[in-house]
Structures are given as C-alpha cells and as structure tokens.
Amino acid sequence: MKYAYYPGCALETTAKEYDHSTRLVARHLGVELWEIPDWNCCGASAAHRVDHLLALALPARVLALAEEQGLDIVVPCAACYNRMKAVEKAVRESEEMRKTIEEIIERSYKGSVSARSVLDVLINQVGLESIKAQVKRPLAGLKLAAYYGCLWVRPPCITAFDDPEDPMTMDRLVEALGGEAVPWPYKTECCGASLPTARTDVGLGMVYQILRRAQEAGAVAIVTACPICHLNLDMRQKQVEAAFQEEFNLPIFYFTELMAVAFGYSPKEAGLTTHFVNPLPLLESSLERRETA
Amino acid sequence: MERLSLSQALSSGQAFKERIEAASGVTLSRCYQCGKCTAGCPASSGMDYGPRGIIRLLQLGLYEKAMRSNTPWICAGCQTCYVRCPRDIDMPKLMEAVRQEACRRGIVGDKKTEVFDRAFLRSIERFGRPHEASIMGEYNLLTGQPFKDIMSGPAMLARGKLALLPSRIKNISEIKKIFARVRAKGGEAR
C-alpha cells in the first residue's frame, strides 16, 4: 500500500509529533508514505478568504506533483485536505477551470488523484481488525472524547467521509485500541482555526466550549485528527483557563500517538514529550492500572 | 433611524448581485430567513450581523453594508451553516464571495483577520511555506499589539515548535509565478 504524503506546514513545526507518529504507525501497519518532494503550502486558511484562483492554484500544484507519480495523497491536516477536495471538485465540474489552473501552475493536472485523510486510510483501508491485531497495550480505562472538528466531515459534498454531525470513525478507533469513547455533543464543533490567533476575543470562547463539553461528558482527554485543532486545544488551553477562570488540564492527543502507544511504543517514541498539557501522567496511570489489574 | 431606499438599492446593485451569485453559486432569493445558520454558528458572538443577517442585506440590495460588516471576516468557514441549511445554501462560499468582492474594493470588514491573512500569504509567496515567527511579528506590529502571544515564543522554542528560520522550498520561483499569474488574471493575491 503506497501513498503520496503531504505533511503540510504545521507538521514541520507546531504539529511535529503528529508527523512523527503518523509516519511511525503507517510504517508499523505496512503503509508506505512517499513524501511529495518540494511541496508548498496549500494556502489554507488564508488564500480562499482573499482570492478564489489563488486558493485553487496552491493546492493544485501539490496534487499535480502526486499525479505525476499516479498516487493518491494522504493528508494529516483537515484544512489542507479540504482545500485539496475543493480543487478536485472545481476541476471535476469545469474543464475550463482545469485548464486555467494548469496555466497558472504551469504543470499538467488532470484531476486523476484523490486526497484522503490519514484517518480514512488507516481505518478504512488498513482496517480496524488489522489495527486491533497490533494492540499490545490496550488503553484500558481511558475515557476519551473523539474530536473531529469541521473540515474532515464538512461539507459532505466534497469530503464524502463519515457523518457531518455525528462521525464515528475515530470513536471506533478509540474502542479498537481498548479505550472508551464518550458520547458528546461538540465532536464536530469548530475550534476557530486562525481566530484564536487573529481574533483572540472570539476564538478563545470557541476553544473553551469544546474543552468544557468534553469534560462534562466525563472525558479525561481529547483525541484530535488535525494540527490546527490540536494547537488551539493544547497550546491555548492555559490561556483559555485564565480567561474563563476554569481549570481543565485535559491532555490533547493525536489519534496516531494513541495508536503508537497501544502498539507498544513508549510515550517518548510516540512523540508525546512536546505537548503543552503534559499527557504522560495520565498515560502512566492508565498503564499502571492495567498492570495491577 | 437610518432611512434607506430599497428599490433604488436593488436596481443600482444588479451587476453586483450577478457577480456575487456567479462567484458563490448561491441564488440569494432561495433563502427564506429561517436563521438556522446563525443559530448554529460557533463564531456568531463576534459578528455584527451574523450569516442570516448578511444574506438578508444582500437580498435587499444593501451590498455596501454587507461588505463593511465584520461577519464575512469572522466566519471561520467551518461549514456548519451549509450542512444544516434547509435550502442548501453554500453560506461559506457566499461569505467568501463577499469578502473577495470587498478586497477588490479595498474594503476591510475586520482589520485583525485581514492583516493575519495577508501576512500569511506574503510569507507563502516569499518562502513557499508560512513562517510563523515572521507572520506573528508582522501581525503584532500592524495590529498594534506588540506583545501578543509573546509568552508562547519560548515555550514553543523549547518544544521545537517554532522555527527561527523559514522553511524555504527549492522551487520558489514556481510559487512566485503562481502569485504573479493570479494577479495578472485580476486576482487579489497582493
């Protein structure tokens, strides 16, 4: 199983543990990831706010590079994924637009390859049964809130992946890893994307609501599948706690990190040492409980 | 209370309406103002009109008001309204069309988000990838908040999550050409 891999900008810096754990579990499960050479930023979340053509051209260059190899692209970031899906739809609907894009990027682009999320490929291509077979250290006793955010599942006319209001893919993964996925109402609520940075007054409240609902549902941590969601929930958590005078101390995991831990890798090997809300005490207590049980 | 001549606004704005409808694929008259969009909007607390209000302004021909509203800039594009709309209106696309139309006229509905987006795009044009440190520096300076998020810097550096130097792609001329060609086609890639 071989795919083109588009890490996207966040995975070089703020989400490097997501990049690390994605490559680790992909390798573990026999999925070959070929990193697209000299990839550029897809322009999310700024380009489409300013110009339609620019917003299509930037991700189209990346799609064209994967198309040269005839490989579908695996994408870890929901925003990148959504922009690529928008390009796929635009060229499917208009031959004229496809030609315009080719002209702007000066590359051949037929629209023949497809962007897929890491989550989709691991769960639907590799399969939950194969994943379950690799679990050496089940996440026993961990109540987790699976948080999807917006752009993996919306709008369904371009993403065509799971339910837009109540997706279950990651919940099923949590259960396969031996954890407990709590039902909660904010699993697809928006984290604000760049708003917690650009308009802190508006954005922090959005992050607060998500943390609050996860805690109310009894979750001891949140599982994410997007570097922007993670940044907002993890790095900004202290700021949210200060602004709303409430303590959460909720570790925020990437689903790939939890897979790595369940597969038997140490938390360090899984990349769990660079979070802002330290997840190690929670993991250690869960592992101890399992061993004494 | 402000008086507005709606029939005049409608007739003078015909061309604008056609452009907005073509760019967004939305037929404005389809909306029956149920308000489900604003009710479910997670960012509505920061908006002046909210999504339902914006489409109402457009229906009434009050385009200038819609472009000067902060709503299209606060919209995070999360697609909740679109998924829930009983009339299947692509509201995020409509917000995009209004914002892009405003950009073309030099109208800025919300300075902070506008400065952030521009800084982000300038960084991509220069390096092929965004460089967070310089984007935040530019954003802080241009929005008059020199110390914003300054405390995150050392914590991010300690975790290896902040690059002091930008990550440049090799074929940067290709990216610069993409921006140039979009501009040549009348795009707003400033």
Residue A248's domain is classified under what CATH number? 3.40.50.11810
A253 found inside a domain? yes
Cα A212 to its chain centre, rounded Å, is: 21
The distance of B3 to chain A (nearest Cα, Å) reads 31
pLDDT value of residue B189 = 57
The distance of A191 to chain B (nearest Cα, Å) reads 9
* CA distance linking residue A257 with residue A269, whole number of Å: 9
Residue A8's domain is classified under what CATH number? 1.20.1050.140
Supply the angle between the helices B14-24 and B91-104 in degrees, to the nearest 10.
Answer: 130
Arithmetic mean of pLDDT over chain B: 93
Q: Range with the lowest mean pLDDT among A111-120, B4-13, B25-34?
A: B4-13
Residues of chain B with C-beta less than 8 angstroms from the C-beta of A202 = 43, 45-46, 74
Could you list the residue range(s) of the whole structural domain that residue A174 is in? Answer: 135-292
- Give yes or no: residues A107 and A167 share one domain: no
- Give yes or no: residues A247 and A148 share one domain: yes
Among A117, A152, A176, give the residue marking a domain's end.
A117
* CA distance linking residue A104 with residue A98, whole number of Å: 10
- Give yes or no: residues A70 and A165 share one domain: no
B42 vs A192: CB contact, 8 Å cut-off?
A: yes
- Give yes or no: residues A58 and A141 share one domain: no
pLDDT value of residue A99 = 98
Residues of chain A with C-beta less than 8 angstroms from the C-beta of B128 = 40-41
Q: CB-CB: which of B79, B175, B182 is closest to A154?
A: B79
A125 found inside a domain? no
**Do the Cβ atoms of A62 and A134 come closer than 8 Å?**
no
- Give yes or no: residues A7 and A83 share one domain: yes
Among A60, A82, A117, give the residue marking a domain's end.
A117
A141 found inside a domain? yes
In a 3-state reduction of DSSP, which class is residue B41?
coil
Summarised one tens digit per residue, pLDDT across range B140-188 is 999 999 989 887 888 999 999 999 899 999 999 999 999 999 999 987 6
Residues 6+ apart with CB under 8 A from A183: A217
Tokens, residue A284: 């250690």
- Give yes or no: residues A99 and A155 share one domain: no
pLDDT value of residue A291 = 64
ipTM score of complex: 0.93
* pLDDT tens over chain A, length 293 residues: 999 999 999 999 999 999 999 999 999 999 999 999 999 999 998 999 889 999 999 999 999 999 999 999 999 999 999 999 999 999 999 999 999 999 999 999 999 999 999 999 999 999 999 999 999 999 998 999 999 999 999 999 999 889 999 999 999 999 999 999 999 999 999 999 999 999 999 999 999 999 999 999 999 999 999 999 999 999 999 999 999 999 999 999 999 999 999 999 999 999 999 999 999 999 988 877 766 65
Residues 6+ apart with CB under 8 A from B188: A50, A51, A54, B100, B103, B104
Looking at the structure of chain A, the number of domains it has is 2
Q: From residue A134, give the alpha-carbon distance in Å to each of A12, A137, B189.
A: 28, 9, 48
- Give yes or no: residues A219 and A269 share one domain: yes
- Give yes or no: residues A268 and A145 share one domain: yes
- Residue B2's φ and ψ, nearest 5 degrees, are -70, 135
B112 vs A54: CB contact, 8 Å cut-off?
A: no
- Give yes or no: residues A151 and A270 share one domain: yes
The distance of A130 to chain B (nearest Cα, Å) reads 33
Among A65, A85, A117, give the residue marking a domain's end.
A117
Confidence of residue B38 (pLDDT cuts 50, 70, 90): very high
pTM, rounded to two decimals: 0.95
A47 found inside a domain? yes
